[in-house]
Amino acid sequence: MRIITAAEIAGALTYGALVDALADAFRSDITVPLRHHHPIPQVPGEPEAMLLLMPAWTPPGDGAFVGTKLVSVYPGNGARGLPSIYGSYVLCNGETGAPLAILDGTMLTVWRTACASALASRFLSRKDASSMVMVGAGALAPHLIRAHAAVRPIRNVALWNRSREKAVALAEGLGRTVPGVTITVATDLQAAVEEADIVSCATISSQPIVSGAWLKPGAHLDLVGAYTPAMRECDDAAVTRASLYVDTRTGGLKEAGDIVDPIRRGIIRAEDVRADLFDLCRGRQAGRAHSDEITLFKSVGTAIEDLAAAILVWRSLPL
């Protein structure tokens, strides 16, 4: 069994190739059971930990795969100076069940998450989209910028983060690695959003950051944070102005705060979500209908994406 490191994953993948692999996966017959949540009691005074299991497998036959992402969430790790989330991905032969590899789950996740947003952007953003705002300066931000730039002619990116220092540091680092794209730090988020063709958010905010009133005609809003029903990255105006799309209906209508909360309060209905990535990739829904349409994509992640990314890495690395 092979151990595949974060560096090997980054060296094996390209954003365009992974976007294509995800599109193929959403058109295929990959089986994805509901993710498993297992609470793990801790010593008194420590917050409860959680073990997440995300399995998926391809149809049986030659070249079949089975994969599971194992994620441990230990909220108390911050006090120990440790990450609160660890992840590993186990890829197995789908014919025999024999383990093939263990992949770095954190690196695999940021790549597949960013490329899922880029896949949605292929259907939902304007084809001439050239300006982008990145809200958040965490681990996902550089991948989201590069992934969107792989599918649209992005020329200008404005970074905004609550901590300006983090945004400045990210801008300086990205300026050397994203050729042809001018990266600046935004001080006025509203003004930056009002000019942007694509607005991408990757935060852990519990309150809306982006207002729908700021979105110009034709804008595309990409929401990657707000992965629990108690979190929000956009306000009600955004979800009522925009055409709504999710990565999967199963996850989006259960876990995505930006969708679940407005539905719960009667602002929108579940039927207002026009399509998910299955519908878009299989041609059941076309996506953007006209140049002035405002679109919104909400992602919470799915094991299909992990399996597709892991298979692409496995096939891309030398034996």
Checking if the pLDDT of 44 tops 90, the result is no
What pLDDT, on the 0 to 100 scale, is given for residue 156?
96
Q: What would you measure as the largest C-alpha separation in the chain, in angstroms?
A: 56
Average pLDDT score, the chain: 94
Segment 66-85 mean pLDDT: 88
For 180, the token pair is 């042809």
Q: How far apart are CA 242 and CA 265, in angstroms?
A: 18
Q: Give, for 314, the enclosing helix (H) or strand (E).
A: helix 303-316
Starting at the edge strand found earlier in the chain, the sheet holding 49-57 runs: 2-4, 99-104, 85-93, 65-73, 49-57, 36-40
Segment 150-166 mean pLDDT: 95
Dihedral of alpha carbons 144, 281, 92, 318, sign: negative
Q: Which domains occur in the chain, in start order? A: 2-108+305-316 (3.30.1780.10), 117-301 (3.40.50.720)
Q: Parallel, antiparallel, or unpaired: how do β-strands 99-104 and 2-4 relate?
A: parallel
Question: Tell me: the pLDDT tens digits for 187-225?
Answer: 999 999 999 999 999 998 889 999 999 999 999 999 998
Q: Which amino acid is residue 305, in one-letter code?
A: E
Q: How far apart are CA 244 and CA 81, in angstroms?
A: 39
Q: How far apart are CA 146 and CA 246, in angstroms?
A: 21
Checking if the pLDDT of 78 tops 80, the result is no
- Whether the pTM exceeds 0.75: the reply is yes
Check residues 21 and 42 and name the one with the higher pLDDT. 21
What pLDDT, on the 0 to 100 scale, is given for residue 79?
82
Question: Tell me: the pLDDT tens digits for 81-135?
Answer: 888 889 999 999 999 999 999 999 999 999 999 999 999 999 999 999 999 999 9
β partners of residue 199: 133, 221
β partners of residue 134: 159, 200
What pLDDT, on the 0 to 100 scale, is given for residue 256?
92
